[in-house]
A and B are shown apart, each in its own frame.
Chain A
Amino acid sequence: NAGVMQNPRHLVRRRGQEARLRCSPMKGHSHVYWYRQLPEEGLKFMVYLQKENIIDESGMPKERFSAEFPKEGPSILRIQQVVRGDSAAYFCASSPNIAEAFFGQGTRLTVV
């Protein structure tokens, strides 16, 4: 089992561009979570998804951010028209249940 795979590991975007972050959960895991981490801070919950469903998106900004977890393929966190304040590390975690989650290596987004 390869663990939670996130790609890319590093992503640089100019202001106004779109960023797409991918997360392949561990085999057999149907729960996916996205978190954002600003430098020197803890993680902030963004969204919780199960296959084809958004369960809880209370931590997601109302505009420009969206997430999906299709029946086939990875979960995608999409940020449209990125701004400098979107620069952060974005972590994905997956879980077979809600007891414990396993984190990916993260995608470090830099907006220039």
Chain B
Amino acid sequence: ELKVEQNPLFLSMQEGKNYTIYCNYSTTSDRLYWYRQDPGKSLESLFVLLSNGAVKQEGRLMASLDTKARLSTLHITAAVHDLSATYFCAVDQGSNYQLIWGAGTKLIIKP
């Protein structure tokens, strides 16, 4: 059974700092997603990582995937308050888009 673990689950940081969120998963998968969710809102797709070594960047966020280590990272550079949200990683089990989700990382960025 595929399990997805994120850490940390909660992160409070100052503006301007860098930090990394980790997503480990337990069985082979070639497709990993990162989503952002604001309180009471829907999920916004941030990145889709499709192969080993994939790296994608959008603004201050950069995501990478190491399928051999079964690890993805979401790196935040010079954080700003607007990035405060909960970030989820989700892993595709291989068919029918049955994503298995991490518990989420609640990120609070203080001015």
A42 and B42 form a contact (CB under 8 A): no
Q: What's the interface size class on A, roughly?
A: 20 to 34
Q: Known interface pairs A56-B96, A98-B96. Does A103 touch B43 (Cβ–Cβ under 8 Å)? A: yes
How near does chain B come to A98, taking the closest CB pair, in angstroms?
Answer: 5
Q: What's the interface size class on B, roughly?
A: 20 to 34
Query: What residues of B have a CB within 8 angstroms of the CB of A56 in the complex?
Result: 96, 98
**Segment of A43-51, A69-77, A78-86 in the binding face:** A43-51
A31 on the B face (CB < 8 A): yes
- Cα(A99)–Cα(B50), bound, Å: 10
Query: What residues of A have a CB within 8 angstroms of the CB of B101 in the complex?
Result: 42-44
Chain B, interface SS category: strand
Interface string of B71-82 (1 = CB under 8 A from A): 000000000000
- Cα(A41)–Cα(B105), bound, Å: 10
Q: Which interface residue of B4, B41, B96, B104 has the most chain A CB atoms within 10 A?
A: B96
Query: What residues of A have a CB within 8 angstroms of the CB of B44 in the complex?
Result: 103
- Cα(A48)–Cα(B43), bound, Å: 18
| A-to-B contact residues, CB < 8 Å | 31, 33, 40-45, 48, 55-56, 58-59, 91, 95, 98-106, 108
